[in-house]
Chains A and B, each alone.
Chain A
């Protein structure tokens, strides 16, 4: 039975600007329709048009039918009786989608009370029950949104949307901006909702990998139009539209073999026992952002540093970039201890160490032209102006930009183009060590693949590549270090670590990588982490991972005592190391 059907849906903002051009869709009860497209493809506009929540200036034509009723053209008052009761929506970016000054329980209870005559107490009880359903402890009902983690906020939004058991649920990027491990949890909640309620679900995402595990049918959008639609297996196995192929290609896959051969050069970067703590005024505590990490990077080698947001990986990069005495531990670059550098040596060494930032929008000065941005490092280090100008042209060409881009300002470039400028700036001084801080995390699917290819081509120096998931770095890195709560828990060659992870956390990160294959995605046996990404302020005795550790849950009491009392140490020695008392595979740490 078709619950929701849109025909020839068109949305215009100004006279000639159509955000949506003649889109048709239908969803049945107990069916999940995945809608996939890049940002700007019109998928969020589509969701809002279905809900009747577009801004007033938007003109909507066509038809949206919920059951037998036409929704277009109804007044706000009429629609408000349908919204939240028969049709509801889960928004992306839960931090801004929840009212910051009211408790989450209150906000869920309101969703109940809008549509039924129940008392405050009953609504509150229902809110607590709903929170339980989506896996949030019901005592958190009194919390404000900023007191919850990203994953929990997203669950609250889901609880709010299912409060009145709607027949249609629209989820707009419900897992964007979440860590991979939490993404999996949220998708599991949606799956449970589907099975329990039999609602028709419209699942919107920019990532085909996310949709693969849940959708029955998939629709691919581009520039306000549907370009392809069909059963999920067909879309993934035999895509016909070039946009679908492109989207599929942009997803990094773990099942492709790593192509990089490792090399044995001299050590370029050596980090030993690095510590960086922040003192916070909140609760007067100390954030142990980086809490004793050690690794090295060799000439021509790429080391990937992977972990959830807040694990301290960016802090580690910044400590290296400062090129001065760290709080504790030792950093040496090209054999020079950074604690012993004088100002002149440090400046000279900066030529050799460069960084590419995550967000190219904030890392390029908005008031400088591309040419000036690229010339700055050259001129700072004494290149004559005429030579610098030539070099800027060379750089632009080498990162695949046109000479015409020289005169442009960053805001007039696309995200991918801006990131190319960021890479060109880092390459300008021909560094021997390049640090990359999630260079593709903020990019669209299509530019992701391009920028990744560019990085891959240009990576002939020593590289430290920071990423929040294991899939991105699979193809690029020679070695990988997995970081958790300011520590490295496992480090080793890519093929070894990916092939047989020794630390339960590494295993969980690998399992959380979405597989863009509906059959494999549904069949695989995953280890899902229970808890939330860690709070860096807490540092319990013993192993810091144990509260979330799936392996710890299965240990005997005597085995557990080791985890509870002793902080697992990483023993120095061979190529492959793990900091776990009960590793999944033996790696010969000498223990």
Chain B
């Protein structure tokens, strides 16, 4: 049973990290493009983002995911996680673009791509790192939630959600598989969240 729990945890972690990476990457690309380019591209991208924000996430994930398989689960989780970050990245890019030191660079003749790399991206990096680490927690919870509902990882694969679902129905006496899996899940999410908050404190200019 111990082995089973560990296997479940590994699945959850892999899916969680992959989903977080995909989601943050997508958010960075969409947000930075929209923010730096502005104009019609910006409006179009942000409209798309808003539409996706309105759709119920469960529907997106459950429906987009064709068949089983863990490979497809991570991208579909990411599909509903990236929108809020994308908006944050866009807002940050917009404000960075107007920052005086970015202006100063442009005024000495630095070309746009170099200005983006030297002056805008380093400031975005902290936001993205923090976001990615917090997304890992969200993705892990989302994955186990879906699996719990029978919409995520399906047997023979196991994840923490599957184990919790199998053990949770018993009720009354304390069911061991549920206990193990639940505690492990909470500990993982706590740990990931702590790392995220720690990163935020490190990057936050106020705390320096």
Contacts and interface: CB of A to CB of B under 8 A. Distances in A.
A362 B101 contact: yes
A350 B111 CA distance: 12
Contacts of A351: 109
30 contacts: A321-B103, A321-B107, A350-B108, A353-B107, A354-B108, A355-B107, A357-B100, A357-B103, A357-B104, A359-B100, A362-B100, A362-B101, A363-B103, A363-B104, A364-B104, A365-B101, A365-B119, A366-B205, A367-B122, A368-B118, A376-B105, A376-B108, A376-B110, A377-B109, A380-B108, A411-B208, A425-B104, A425-B108, A428-B108, A429-B108
A354 B105 contact: no
Nearest to A361: B100
Interface string B118-148: 1100110000000000000000000000000
A425 B107 CA distance: 11
A347 interface: yes
Contacts of B118: 365, 368, 376
Nearest to B102: A365
Given A321-B107, A347-B109, A354-B107, 20 more contacts: A321-B103, A350-B109, A351-B109, A353-B107, A355-B104, A355-B107, A357-B100, A357-B103, A359-B100, A362-B100, A363-B103, A364-B101, A364-B104, A365-B119, A367-B123, A376-B108, A377-B108, A380-B108, A425-B108, A428-B108
A363 B109 contact: no
Contacts, number: 50
Q: Interface residues of A: mostly helix, strand, loop or mixed?
A: mixed
B10 interface: no
Interface in A100-148: none
A380 B119 contact: no
Contacts of A530: none
A340 interface: no
A355 B118 CA distance: 20
Interface of B: 99-101, 103-105, 107-110, 114, 118-119, 122-123, 205, 208
Nearest to B125: A367
A381 interface: yes
Chain B's interface: helix, strand, loop or mixed, by majority?
A: helix
Nearest to B100: A363
B107 A380 contact: no
Contacts of B104: 355, 357, 363-364, 425
Contacts of B122: 367
Given A362-B100, A363-B101, A364-B101, A350 B107 contact: yes
A558 B107 CA distance: 50
Nearest to A410: B101
Interface in A332-388: 347, 350-351, 353-355, 357, 359, 362-368, 376-377, 380-381
Nearest to B123: A367
Contacts of A347: 109
A508 B103 CA distance: 34
Contacts of B208: 411
Contacts of A368: 118
Contacts of A425: 104, 108
Contacts of B99: 362
Contacts of A376: 105, 108, 110, 118
Contacts of B114: 380
Contacts of A428: 108
Contacts of B110: 376, 380
Nearest to A367: B122
Contacts of B107: 321, 350, 353-355
A372 to B, nearest CB: 9
Contacts of A357: 100, 103-104
Contacts of A363: 100-101, 103-104
Nearest to A359: B100
Interface centre among B101, B109, B114 (most CB of A within 10 A): B101
A425 to B, nearest CB: 7
A347 B110 CA distance: 9
A383 to B, nearest CB: 12
B201 to A, nearest CB: 17
A429 to B, nearest CB: 7
Ranked nearest first, the 5 interchain pairs of A and B with the lowest CB-CB distance are A377-B108, A363-B100, A350-B109, A365-B101, A362-B100
Interface in A415-439: 425, 428-429
A323 to B, nearest CB: 9
A347 B108 CA distance: 8
B104 to A, nearest CB: 5
A450 B15 CA distance: 60
A462 to B, nearest CB: 16
A411 B110 CA distance: 23
A306 to B, nearest CB: 21
A368 B118 CA distance: 9
A376 B118 CA distance: 10
